[in-house]
Amino acid sequence: MAGDSATLIPLSAVEPGMIEAVLDRAFGPDRHARTAYRIRAGMEWLETLSFAALDEDELLVGTIQCWPIALIGEDARPVPLVMVGPVAVVPERQGEGFGIGLMAAMLDAEARMTASGSPTFPQVLIGDADYYGRWGFSAAATGGWRCPGPYEQNRLLARGAALSAMPHEGMLGPWDPKGGIAGRD
């Protein structure tokens, strides 16, 4: 598996234009219209949980980004979450294990944060349950959650020890630590 020979580096070490090129190749130039972009609108990705994969020739072949978002329940109180994704691998290298390596790096970084006493939050993504289920992501807690745009409810997945304390219903959007969803009244 080529992903075994991958070098994983902090995403912050990669030029932004190179990141955008990988994302365009993996998801197409119309990717900005996707619902996930609406959920994290205006947010900066979290450097400690975002990584890049270089292949054996040190070419950028994949990235993972994580974002601060919130679930706004019926009481209008924001509950912080981390949105995982996009997990992007250039088309000609998909299926070689780079995505698995990127997910493992992100989860390892999250585990180190937890072990050091840093706050960590449940994670959410829009993706394939068969693929992301191996890391504990499921739609079990997200049935009453909504997104600002089209999505398939069974693809809204979450993981984390605090999921049982999360609101059962609410809207996902950018994290505004002052309350509410960023950019909304």
Q: How confident is the model at residue 180 (pLDDT cuts 50, 70, 90)?
A: very low
Asked if residue 98 lies in contact with residue 62, where contact means CB atoms within 8 angstroms, the answer is: yes
3-class SS at 23?
Answer: helix
* pLDDT tops 70 at residue 81: yes
Residue 31 vs residues 25, 88, 129, 173: alpha-carbon distances, Å: 10, 12, 21, 17
- Could you tell me the end-to-end alpha-carbon distance of the chain, in angstroms, rounded to an integer? 49
Please indicate, yes or no, whether the overall pTM of this predicted structure exceeds 0.85.
yes
Q: Quick one: 2-174 is in which CATH superfamily?
A: Gcn5-related N-acetyltransferase (GNAT) (3.40.630.30)
How many other CB atoms are found less than 10 A from the CB of residue 76? 10
Asked if residue 142 lies in contact with residue 157, where contact means CB atoms within 8 angstroms, the answer is: yes
Burial profile 101-121: b = 16 or more Cβ within 10 angstroms, e = fewer: bbbbbbbebbeeeeeeeeebb
pLDDT number for residue 177: 66
pLDDT number for residue 184: 42
Beta strand ranges found along 42-168 (DSSP E): 51-54, 60-72, 78-89, 123-126, 144-146, 156-159
pLDDT number for residue 71: 95
pLDDT in tens, 31-56: 999 999 999 999 999 999 999 999 99
Average pLDDT taken over every residue of the chain: 91
pLDDT number for residue 183: 45
DSSP code per residue over 86-110: EEEE-GGGTTSSHHHHHHHHHHHHH
pLDDT in tens, 122-140: 999 999 999 999 999 999 9
Label the pairing between strands 144-146 and 169-174.
parallel
Q: List the single range of 24-28, 81-85, 163-167 with lowest mean pLDDT.
A: 163-167
